Amino acid sequence: MSDAEKSRKITPAVPGLYKRAVVDALIKLDPRTLIHNPVMFTVEIGSAITTLLYFQALTGTGEAPAGFIGAISAWLWFTVLFANFAEALAEGRGKAQAESLRKMRQDTTAKRLRDRYRIIKGSEPQESDFEQVLSSVLHKSDLFYVKAGDIIPVDGEILEGIASVNESAITGESAPVIRESGGDRSAVTGGTVILSDWLIVRVSANPGEGFLDRMISLIEGAKRQKTPNEIALNILLLGLTAIFLVVAAALYAFSAYSVQSVGTGTTVTITVLVALFVCLAPTTIGGLLSAIGIAGMDRLIQRNVITTSGRAIEAAGDVDVLLLDKTGTITLGNRQAVEFIPVDGTTIEDLAGIAQLASLADETPEGRSIVVLAKEKYGLRGRTVGASGPEAGMQFIPFSSQTRMSGVDQGDLHIRKGAADALFKYIESSGNGVSDELRGAVDTISRAGGTPLVVAQNGKALGVIHLKDIVKGGIKERFVQLRKMGIKTIMITGDNRLTAATIAAEAGVDDFLAEATPESKLKLIREYQAGGRMVAMTGDGTNDAPALAQADVAVAMNTGTQPAREAANMIDLDSNPTKLIEIVEIGKQLLMTRGALTTFSIANDIAKYFAIIPVAFASTYPSLAALNILGLHNGILAAVIFNAVIIVALIPLALRGVNYRAMSAEEALRNNVLIYGVGGIIAPFIGIKIIDMLLIFLGV
């Protein structure tokens, strides 16, 4: 099972979680709480009415047998409780996660730098430069100092220093990460532990507003705001509820009038009308709607993504343009050697050997890949540089931005490798010419989107190393899936157009933006939004902040800068740019789940209408008994029980989400209608009949 598949599995609910959900479901019976769910609030009112009628029936003056009214009343209360239980269960997992985070949010000691302190590049603060305070007194813009072994007290931005930090408490990843000032990895989070060196950090949030605080409130769902789609659906459900309420009242009037006019039959009871109203109102989706939204946020949290609101998840489901950074997202992020091209009579074995020798001390990913390529393709074993042996006396020349080359010297042997133009000058300065064969090899690699490294020995060119930005395995298939979903993918890169076009074609993206700047990214997003498109983007740097703030779905890397994290509406704790694709899929799954269960609920109501109306009004209109095609004996009670039980049956689907696969909107709609629409019509007939038979068997 892949990591992605593991992350999709819902964490099994432990017995303690169920017990807590049951208690919370009872607490949510408070009308002041339940009124926020109008559909279930009306069911609670109906439950209260039938309860009063039950107590009246116990006195012998009831409208129907006390056993019948009591059973209806009990199952109406169960309907409300089951809906509350679904929401409480969805919230419960978040509360369990929040509890562990809350334990991390402890008041620790912090070394706050004194006002007189001035940062000196590379200078570590002394004991006289700071004062010991509690982390709770640190405010935005304060400076504090941490060293190896310290807990970082609050969120902040590194101003000076570089250190290894253990962020496992936040990300779940045990491997330490490097945080340093000045780059795109300058943000630190309160509650993490510094493992080496020291840092000077500027506080980025006031007490109670830190990253952990926001995570806790979002995970618990205490501040979860309903999204626009959810509000619209709530209005629709409220409208349907009002219609059925009017219908139920009108049916009572018609029933009373018919009995009085004809002089036969009995008026339908209030208990039956309440049961009819509850069965016809959209109680199924009304009871599960909130749980679906909370579960959507929970699925993101399981993938280590924190979102500022449910609105962002919904927007992810509607995204049709995806802006993806090339490096680290589409490609592996490190160029790798893929080919040795000898020139001017040099054998490929000699070129591979010299290139490997020049790269022995090169610890960059590119340098290591050269050593590996020479070993794997030409059987050249990596050598150990020491005081004895063939490599004795070697002096390695590191790469510098001035010379743009590196190499090794040993006596009269001088080997150099580096950028083509720098090596051309080096070769010419050595009194040798640059051959057309060498220039041709360099041009061929450049046109293919690669990076040529020229290798020379004693001023004479030996050949070229082809470095290539490797496209991630499987990424092309992901883009095909996104295309099926109607999503346009655009690669963002600082490379020139030629290199960008080559990598874009290999990766299978729909378009690319080359030589990207903050202004060009912002302009591109605005152009698509002006055309009515929903745009998603990922970023981590300060220069990404304007575009992130403009995008409809903006995912910032947790390792990124504070401006980027503040501009985004989602933060990926794993700092994995490809997570954006999963976020879009989760958003679409949320919308599909809500749509599927809404379709099922409305289809259920239609089926229940035809199943129970003949039974409910047979006492008033005896001729309706002919329409009781299911032969129901306890049709009203069976329908009420089914109406309650179906909510419980659908809770796992609401929490897990419908099975998701890439498809067009037309396919999704067709599947929705065929599976949940047709299934929603058939299920009540079968379910109500089975329950009715079971009631007869039990002697009810």
pLDDT of 389 reads 46
pLDDT of 467 reads 86
pLDDT tens track for 405-443: 888 888 888 899 888 888 999 999 988 988 999 999 988
Query: Residue 43 — pLDDT band, cuts 50, 70, 90?
Result: very high
Phi, psi of 396 (to 5 degrees): -90, 135
Query: If you average pLDDT over residues 252-281, what whole number do you get?
Result: 83
DSSP for 563-612 reads HHHHH-SEEETT--TTHHHHHHHHHHHHHHHHHHHHHHHHHHHHHHHHHH
pLDDT of 274 reads 92
Query: Residue 384 — pLDDT band, cuts 50, 70, 90?
Result: very low
* Helix 228-262 and helix 579-616, axial crossing angle in degrees, nearest 10: 0
Measured CA to CA, the distance from residue 398 to residue 408 in angstroms comes to 9
Six-digit token string for 202: 């500027």
pLDDT of 614 reads 82
Q: Does residue 228 or residue 295 have the better pLDDT?
A: 295
Measured CA to CA, the distance from residue 617 to residue 625 in angstroms comes to 8
The one catalytic residue in 142, 325, 469, 605 is: 325
- Asked if the model's pLDDT at residue 36 lies above 60, the reply is yes
pLDDT tens track for 485-512: 788 999 888 777 877 888 888 888 999 9
Six-digit token string for 201: 């950090």
pLDDT of 112 reads 92
Given CA atoms 475, 481, 484, 489 in this order, what sign does their dihedral have? negative
- Asked if the model's pLDDT at residue 218 lies above 70, the reply is no
Please tell me which of 215-219, 448-452, 672-676 the model is most confident about, judged by mean pLDDT: 672-676
Q: What is the pLDDT of the chain when averaged over all its residues?
A: 82
pLDDT of 163 reads 87
Vertex 126: Cα angle to 125 and 131 (nearest 5) = 90
Count other Cβ atoms within 10 Å, centred on residue 115. Answer: 7
What order of strands is seen across the sheet that includes strand 305-307? Answer: 305-307, 570-572, 553-557, 535-539, 321-325, 488-492, 511-513
Among candidate residues 520, 479, 512, 471, the one with its CA nearest the CA of residue 493: 512
pLDDT of 581 reads 82
Least confidently predicted of 3-7, 13-17, 527-531, 536-540 = 3-7
* Amino acid code (one letter) for 625: A
Query: Residue 210 — pLDDT band, cuts 50, 70, 90?
Result: low
Q: What is the pTM of this model?
A: 0.66
Q: Does residue 82 or residue 6 have the better pLDDT?
A: 82
Six-digit token string for 24: 């919370």
Please confirm, yes or no, whether 184 is among the known catalytic residues. no
- DSSP state at residue 674: I
